[in-house]
């Protein structure tokens, strides 16, 4: 009994580092050996930069990787958006990105059908992806980049 209780205490300690979720890139398709198209290779490069590391948090740290793993799903890799029964607005050449606070608020809290990412990205990740969108995809809003302090202030 006592031995079991002690082992359980050890388990509790062991569990904590497991939550840090190691990147699984070595288990990813890069090891599959199948020939990949240029598109697949670029997708893999972007998404495997700390991609697929946790069921609850995004692991990517830089704006380009975060964009490729999240925004691109709806707004598309080139930022041109898409249209079906409804539409996803283009982020490419979008004048609403001029002020960082607007995209920051939407990434955090969502807008209409778009979910917010407040619980899945930390302040630095939100700032990184906002600044990526504002300075790529044909946007040239390099002035007044979003900071982690700006992001923190916009969290609800």
Partner 1 sequence: MSDTSPPGSSRRDLLARIGLAAGGAAMYQAMTALGVSAASTYTGPIRLDGDPKGASVLILGAGVAGMVAAMELRKAGYRVQVLEYREKAGGRVWTLRGGDRYTELGGATQEIRFDEGLYFNPGPWRIPYNHQGILDYAHRLNVPLEPFIQVNHNAMVHGTRAFGSRPKRYREIMSDYHGGIAELLAKSTQQGKLNGMVTKEDGEILIESLRSFGALDRDLNYAKNVVTSDRRGFDKDPGGGLNARPVPSEPMSLKDVLSSRGWSYLASGALYEFQMTMFQPVGGMDMIAQAMAHECGDMIQYSRKVVGIQQDERGVTVAFEETGRPGQVQQARADYCLATIPLSILSQLEMNVSSPMAAAIQAVPYAASVKVGLQMKRRFWEQDEHIYAGISYTDLPIRMIQYPAYGYGSRGKGVLLGAYAFGPYAYEFTALSPEERVRRAVDWGAQIHPQYRDEFDNGASVGWHRVPWALGCNGMWTDATRAEHYDNLCALDNRILLAGEHASYIPAWQEGAVLSALDAVSRLHRRVVST
Give the interface with partner 1 as residue ranges (CB under 8 A). 1, 4, 7-8, 10-11, 14-15, 18-19, 24, 27-29, 31-32, 34, 39-40, 43-44, 47, 51-52, 54-58, 68-74, 76-77, 82-88, 110, 112-116, 118-120, 122-123, 152, 155
d(CA 154, CA 104): 8
Tokens 């079991």 label which residue? 4
Q: Smallest distance, Å, CB 92 to partner 1?
A: 14
Cβ proximity to partner 1, 7 vs 138, nearer residue: 7
**If you ran DSSP here, which 8-state letter would residue 12 be given?**
H
Q: Smallest distance, Å, CB 7 to partner 1?
A: 4
Q: Are strands 82-83 and 87-88 parallel, antiparallel or unpaired?
A: antiparallel
d(CA 4, CA 7): 5
Q: Smallest distance, Å, CB 24 to partner 1?
A: 7
Cβ proximity to partner 1, 39 vs 142, nearer residue: 39
Cβ proximity to partner 1, 138 vs 140, nearer residue: 138
d(CA 26, CA 120): 23
- Give the H/E segment covering residue 134: helix 123-135
């Amino acid at each position: 009994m006592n031995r079991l209780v002690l082992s359980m205490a050890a388990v509790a300690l062991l569990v904590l580092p497991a939550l840090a979720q190691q990147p699984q890139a070595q288990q990813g398709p890069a090891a599959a050996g199948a020939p990949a198209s240029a598109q697949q290779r670029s997708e893999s490069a972007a998404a495997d930069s700390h991609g697929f590391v946790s069921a609850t948090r995004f692991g990517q740290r830089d704006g380009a990787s975060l964009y490729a793993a999240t925004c691109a799903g709806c707004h598309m890799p080139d930022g041109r958006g898409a249209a079906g029964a409804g539409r996803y607005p283009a982020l490419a050449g979008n004048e609403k990105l001029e002020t960082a606070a607007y995209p920051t608020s939407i990434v955090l809290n969502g807008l209409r059908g778009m979910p917010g990412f407040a619980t899945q990205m930390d302040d630095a990740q939100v700032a990184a992806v906002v600044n990526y969108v504002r300075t790529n995809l044909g946007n040239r809003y390099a002035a007044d980049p979003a900071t982690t302090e700006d992001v923190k202030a916009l969290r609800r």
